Amino acid sequence: MKSFKIGGPKSFSSPRSPQAEAPRPSTPTAPSSKPGASTTPGAPKDGFDTVGSRISSSVRGLFGPSQADSFAANPTKFSGQNLLNGYKLFPNGTPPQGVTLPTPNKPLVPANQSVATLNVQQQHGNANLSLSSPGGNGPQVNYLHYLSSGQGTQSQGSFAGISDVPLRPGHGQPSMVTTGPLNGCAVHALHNPANDTLSFVHQADFSKYGSQTGKQQLENFLKQNELQLVQSLTPNDYSHPTGKHGIQTGATAFAHYDKASEKWNLVGQLNDWKNGGTPGGRPELQRPPGGLAQQLMNPVDLQNPLKLNELK
């Protein structure tokens, strides 16, 4: 079972904004190639901020109280009613203290070293996600980083992930994984049979050289790390041409543990580009046009894993 489509145009309480006129690239690209960056000064390059793209650190003061507890308590309901914006996850432009990031030589970070505090503020119709140091006033989540495709070869690909995520998180353990926006990338849920845990991986530019190359890169990564594919969210799931320019939709992805089913779910909420936002700030997103699924939920089911040859 690949995925469930959740909600259509009538699922949301707020109306959709008009279509963006600035075209996205016709071929899905990494988050750094988001449209509007060339016409809007200081627009963020991706959701994994680089130094030099900064806004005030007083996130709560600027955007009001955090709704992160509501999001963490019922992720599917909250994401069904709110438009998530994963750009500028690091409001200060640098990763929060206490969060270890992967590197090309060490692409997997232990889950207990990737914990951060989640914040969610409403602004311009977007529920803006951001992360701060672990132990803060808010839900504790695992952060899934991104390494650009330029940091890996065409045959190797570029992967960044977290390992040793419990199949059934216990008290005090994060039950959500957050990552930046998807615009050509893929997110995978993997199983480690050696210790019966999960890994979540962000694969840059899955379709850059064609999906067959993306699948080969993933197969090599799985073999090198002795992991097994369980579930995925790829551009084939979320990237669809819209409007007269054929602008490709993107997605905000996250994973969450559902206590009722005792399973993780990999979720992708589709979005469309609205504008580049303020200089140094977030772009503004809008909902995709009618006819497209607003949200996808892919169960991470070890008894019914996704097969590599099923990826598109």
Q: Is the dihedral of CA 9, 14, 18, 23 positive or negative?
A: negative
Give the chain as a 3 state SS string.
Answer: CCCEEECCHHHCCCCCCCCCCCCCCCCCCCHHHCCCCCCCCCCCCCCCCCCCCCCCCCHHHHHCCCCHHHHHHCHHHHHHHCCEECCCCCCCCCCCCCCCCCCCCCCEEEHHHCEEEEEEEEECCEEEEEEECCCCCCCEEEEECCCCHHHCCCCCCCEEEEEEECCCCCCCCCCEEEEEEECCCEEEEEEECCCCEEEEEEECCCCCCCHHHHHHHHHHHHHHHCCEEEEEECHHHHCCEECCCCEECEEEEEEEEECCCCEEEEEEEEEEEEECCCCCCCCEEECCCCCCCCEEEEEECCCCCCCHHHCC
- pTM of this prediction exceeds 0.85: no
As beta bridge partners, residue 184 has none
150-176 as b/e, with b when 16 or more CB fall inside 10 Å? Answer: eebeeeebbbbbbbbbeeebeeeebbb
Closest by CA to 41, choosing from 249, 286, 283, is 283
Instruction: Please state the φ and ψ torsions of residue 269, each to the nearest 5 degrees.
Output: -100, 120
Residues in the chain: 312
CB 152 within 8 A of CB 159: yes
What pLDDT sits at residue 243?
74
Average pLDDT, the chain: 81
Decide if pLDDT at 197 tops 80: yes
Q: CA–CA separation, 125 vs 182, rounded Å? A: 20
Where does the pLDDT of residue 281 fall: very low under 50, low under 70, confident under 90, or very high at 90 and above?
A: confident
pLDDT tens digits for range 298-307: 999 999 999 9
What is the rounded CA–CA span in Å between residue 124 and residue 126? 6
User: 73 CB contacts (<8 Å, ≥6 apart)?
Assistant: none
Cα–Cα distance, 118 to 140 (Å, whole number): 6
Gap between the Cα atoms of 297 and 6, Å rounded: 7
For 223, residues 6+ apart whose C-beta sits below 8 A from its C-beta are none
User: Is residue 244 pLDDT above 80, yes or no?
Assistant: no
- Residues 36-94 have pLDDT tens digits of 433 333 333 344 443 333 333 333 444 568 999 999 999 999 999 999 999 999 988 89
Domain boundaries, the chain: 4-310
- Chain CA centroid to CA 242, Å: 21
pLDDT band at 277 (very low <50, low <70, confident <90, very high): confident
The mean-pLDDT minimum among 8-12, 69-73, 266-270 falls in: 8-12
In tens, the pLDDT along 157-194 reads 899 999 999 999 999 999 999 999 999 999 999 999 99
34 vs 22: CA distance, rounded Å: 10
The pLDDT of residue 289: 80
pLDDT tens for 91-134 read 888 999 999 999 999 999 999 999 999 999 999 899 999 999 99
